[in-house]
């Protein structure tokens, strides 16, 4: 028995190491084939003869005829790479496609690139990506290095726990519990700063999927990060996991782009506003994160 | 400079964790590595086989895999719960010991056979010969490669950042979330490591001067 659990553990470890930790396709981010009642993804009309005056980024991508968008590949429902088809899917991906269509690029001209959290600023300012859509919280400090269009979604820090665990109902019940999140992430820094649990009970791994593994094996009691990310994991394994549903922060997700490109920022703000006004935003939400069952309101665009 | 001063609450404790991790695993791997070297030159064939198998296995396994095993697979055996810091120290120790073992063994090879034969003629046992005659001479002759192995281990401690140990290797991710400039932040991390390695190099030179064997 021990040997079998060990073998299973080694397999999980090996999968985690090769970043293939997420088996199968989450029910919350299918491509609309989960049944007749599942909301279908909207299609986007590709704009013709677009010009963004004074935008160096746009001038560059227009010359290249190809758009490189930075995304995440390990967040179910938001930005997830299907290991079998290599296609990206989720809410963030759809927002990225919608913006691309508004800039005159159809899906075949988009090159999605995975950029992990710690490398975002560098990827944007070096021009490795033209813009970045991946659970990127707008903060004043980050605005000194990059600029943000949006927000296109309002998330909030929440807790993912085992389904049968009734002892954790919110941040104030975390004392004495083991809490896991990604190394150095804002949620885990908040847990540490506000002393929601003891320092010895804070666990940090490279990926949320590793935290979820530890949650299922009862080595940690809660995984904390933005509710949007947690809902994706809960939708993958609804029999064993649940989101507590009491957010305790505001995380406005923005589209990150070059610090000096105010023209493109204004253009993307316009596109987001239009999508919110004509209902495209709601359709995107309903077909992706909305499948978790919880509704969401479009946020107010903050121009600066 | 701002990046360093604004985040002293990161740099201080995180580098201290790095140093603790280095000291604990460094001492442990020196002891365990020397013990393994003893196994590899032992007159008992079974011991030699055990030593050789261990070294071959651990030297050929990437350190990250050793970490993954200890952090994700080992807990499923439910033998003894290790804290993540302890798990990191154990991973670094069992990995580095294999390299220390080979360095010490090459040192043993530099000791003339006559030394051991003379000791045996005086009636010393194997452990006495090894501990009192051969190893003291062997270790003196391999101070530079021994220090190189330890410096390598110092840098390997950064892998623990991925396995829930907040040490110097995790600083970059914290800075990223705080919105500070990571490039400048990483330069300070690099400077921290340069200082630590400089201390080790200084220790190496001091030991070489004191321990040089006249042959």
Q: Do the Cβ atoms of A204 and B166 come within 8 Å?
A: yes
The distance in angstroms from the start CA to the end CA of chain B is 50
Q: How far apart are CA A201 and CA B58, in angstroms?
A: 31
The answer to whether the pTM exceeds 0.90 is no
Q: Do the Cβ atoms of A122 and B183 come within 8 Å?
A: yes
Our CA-based measurement puts residue A144 at a distance from the nearest CA of chain B, in whole angstroms, of 8
pLDDT digits (tens, 9 = 90+) for A64-108: 889 999 999 888 888 998 888 889 988 999 999 999 999 999 888
**pLDDT for B36 beyond 50:** yes
pLDDT digits (tens, 9 = 90+) for A129-143: 999 999 999 988 889
Dihedral of alpha carbons A127, A129, A131, A132, sign: negative
What local confidence, expressed as pLDDT, does residue A6 receive? 58
Instruction: Name the residue of chain B whose CA is nearest to A184's CA.
Output: B174
Instruction: Name the residue of chain B whose CA is nearest to A204's CA.
Output: B164
Least confident of A214-218, A299-303, B122-126, B178-182: B178-182
What local confidence, expressed as pLDDT, does residue A118 receive? 81
Instruction: Name the residue of chain A whose CA is nearest to B186's CA.
Output: A118
pLDDT digits (tens, 9 = 90+) for A229-274: 898 888 778 888 888 888 889 889 999 999 998 999 999 999 999 9
Q: Residue A53: which pLDDT band, with cuts at 50, 70 and 90?
A: confident
Q: How far apart are CA A156 and CA A222, in angstroms?
A: 16
Q: Do the Cβ atoms of B176 and A5 come within 8 Å?
A: no
Our CA-based measurement puts residue B174 at a distance from the nearest CA of chain A, in whole angstroms, of 4
What local confidence, expressed as pLDDT, does residue A24 receive? 43
**pLDDT for B35 beyond 90:** yes
pLDDT digits (tens, 9 = 90+) for B176-204: 878 788 888 889 999 999 999 999 999 99
Task: Give the mean model confidence (pLDDT) for residues B12-27.
Answer: 94
B57 CB neighbour count, 10 Å cutoff: 11
Establish if B172 touches chain A: CB-CB under 8 angstroms: yes
What local confidence, expressed as pLDDT, does residue B214 receive? 59
Instruction: Name the residue of chain A whose CA is nearest to B183's CA.
Output: A122
Task: Give the mean model confidence (pLDDT) for residues A129-158.
Answer: 91
Q: Do the Cβ atoms of B177 and A17 come within 8 Å?
A: no
**pLDDT for A20 beyond 90:** no
Task: List chain A residues with CB under 8 Å of B177.
Answer: 117, 184-186, 189
Least confident of A282-296, B4-18, B68-82: A282-296
Establish if B63 touches chain A: CB-CB under 8 angstroms: no
Task: List chain A residues with CB under 8 Å of B76.
Answer: 2, 5-6, 8-9, 217
Q: Do the Cβ atoms of B179 and A12 come within 8 Å?
A: no
Instruction: Name the residue of chain A whose CA is nearest to B71's CA.
Output: A13
Q: Do the Cβ atoms of B162 and A206 come within 8 Å?
A: yes
Q: Do the Cβ atoms of B166 and A183 come within 8 Å?
A: yes
Establish if B164 touches chain A: CB-CB under 8 angstroms: yes
Establish if B35 touches chain A: CB-CB under 8 angstroms: no
Q: Residue B215: which pLDDT band, with cuts at 50, 70 and 90?
A: low
pLDDT digits (tens, 9 = 90+) for A30-48: 443 444 445 688 888 888 8
**Which of A80, A113, A74 lies closest to A94, judged by CA?**
A80
**pLDDT for B136 beyond 50:** yes
Task: List chain B residues with CB under 8 Å of A206.
Answer: 162
Our CA-based measurement puts residue A16 at a distance from the nearest CA of chain B, in whole angstroms, of 9
Q: Do the Cβ atoms of B182 and A10 come within 8 Å?
A: no
Contacts of B101 (CB under 8 A, 6+ apart): B33, B34, B36, B37, B40, B51, B54, B55
Write the secondary structure of chain B as one string of H (helix), E (strand) and C (coil).
CHHHHHCHHHHHHHHHHHHHHHHHHHHHHHHHHHHHHHHHCCCCHHHHHHHHHHHHHHHCCCHHHHHHHHHHHHHHHCCCCCCHHHHHHHHHHHHHHHHHHHHHHHHHHHCCHHHHHHHHHCCCCHHHHHHHHHHHHHHHHCHHHHHHHHHHHHHHHHHHHHECCCCHHHHHHHHHHHCCCHHHHHHHHHHHHHHHHHHHHHHHHHHHHHHCCCC
CA distances from B55 to A220, B14, B101 (A): 34, 31, 8
Task: List chain B residues with CB under 8 Å of A210.
Answer: 72
What local confidence, expressed as pLDDT, does residue B10 receive? 85
């Amino acid at each position: 028995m021990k040997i079998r659990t060990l073998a299973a553990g080694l397999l999980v470890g090996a999968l985690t190491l090769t970043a293939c930790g997420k088996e199968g396709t989450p029910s919350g981010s299918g491509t609309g084939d989960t049944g007749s009642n599942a909301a279908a993804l909207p299609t986007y009309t590709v704009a013709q003869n677009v010009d963004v005056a004074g935008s160096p980024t746009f001038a560059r991508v227009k010359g290249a005829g190809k758009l490189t968008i930075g995304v995440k590949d390990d967040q179910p429902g938001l930005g997830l790479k299907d290991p079998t088809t290599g296609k990206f899917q989720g809410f963030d991906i759809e927002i990225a496609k919608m913006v691309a269509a508004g800039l005159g690029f159809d899906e075949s001209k988009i090159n999605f690139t995975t950029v992990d959290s710690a490398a975002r600023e560098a990827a944007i300012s070096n021009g490795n990506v033209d813009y970045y859509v991946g659970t990127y919280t707008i903060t004043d400090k980050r605005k000194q290095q990059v600029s943000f269009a949006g927000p296109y979604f309002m998330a909030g820090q929440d807790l993912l726990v085992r389904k049968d665990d009734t002892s954790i109902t919110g941040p104030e019940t975390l004392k004495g519990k083991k809490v896991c999140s990604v190394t150095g992430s804002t949620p885990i820094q908040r847990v540490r700063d506000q002393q929601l649990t003891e320092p010895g009970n804070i666990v940090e791994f490279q990926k949320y999927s590793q935290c979820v593994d530890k949650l299922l094996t009862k080595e940690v009691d809660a995984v904390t990060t933005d509710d949007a990310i947690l809902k994706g994991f809960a939708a993958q394994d609804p029999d064993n996991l649940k989101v507590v549903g009491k957010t305790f922060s505001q995380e406005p997700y923005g589209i990150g782009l070059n610090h000096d490109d105010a023209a493109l920022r204004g253009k993307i703000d316009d596109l987001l506003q239009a999508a919110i006004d004509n209902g495209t935003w709601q359709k995107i939400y309903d077909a992706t994160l909305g499948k978790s069952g919880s509704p969401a309101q479009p946020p107010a665009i903050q121009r600066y | 400079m701002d990046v360093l001063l604004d985040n002293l609450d990161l740099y201080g404790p995180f580098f201290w964790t790095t140093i603790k991790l280095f000291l604990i695993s460094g001492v442990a791997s020196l002891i365990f590595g020397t013990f393994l070297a003893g196994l590899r030159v032992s007159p008992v064939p079974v011991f030699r086989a055990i030593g050789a198998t261990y070294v071959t296995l651990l030297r050929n396994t990437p350190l990250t895999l050793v970490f993954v095993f200890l952090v994700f697979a080992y807990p499923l055996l439910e033998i003894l719960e290790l804290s993540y810091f302890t798990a990191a120290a154990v991973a670094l120790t069992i990995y580095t010991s294999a390299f220390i073992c080979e360095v010490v063994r090459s040192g043993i090879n530099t000791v003339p056979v006559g030394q051991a034969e003379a000791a045996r003629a005086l009636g010393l046992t194997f452990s006495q010969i090894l501990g009192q005659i051969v190893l003291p001479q062997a270790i003196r002759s391999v101070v530079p490669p021994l220090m190189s192995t330890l410096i390598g281990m110092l840098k390997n401690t950064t892998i623990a950042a991925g396995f829930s140990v907040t040490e110097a290797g995790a600083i970059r991710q914290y800075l990223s979330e705080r919105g500070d400039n990571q490039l400048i932040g990483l330069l300070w991390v690099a400077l921290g490591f340069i200082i630590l390695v400089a201390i080790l190099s200084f220790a190496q030179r001091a030991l070489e001067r004191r321990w040089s064997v006249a042959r």
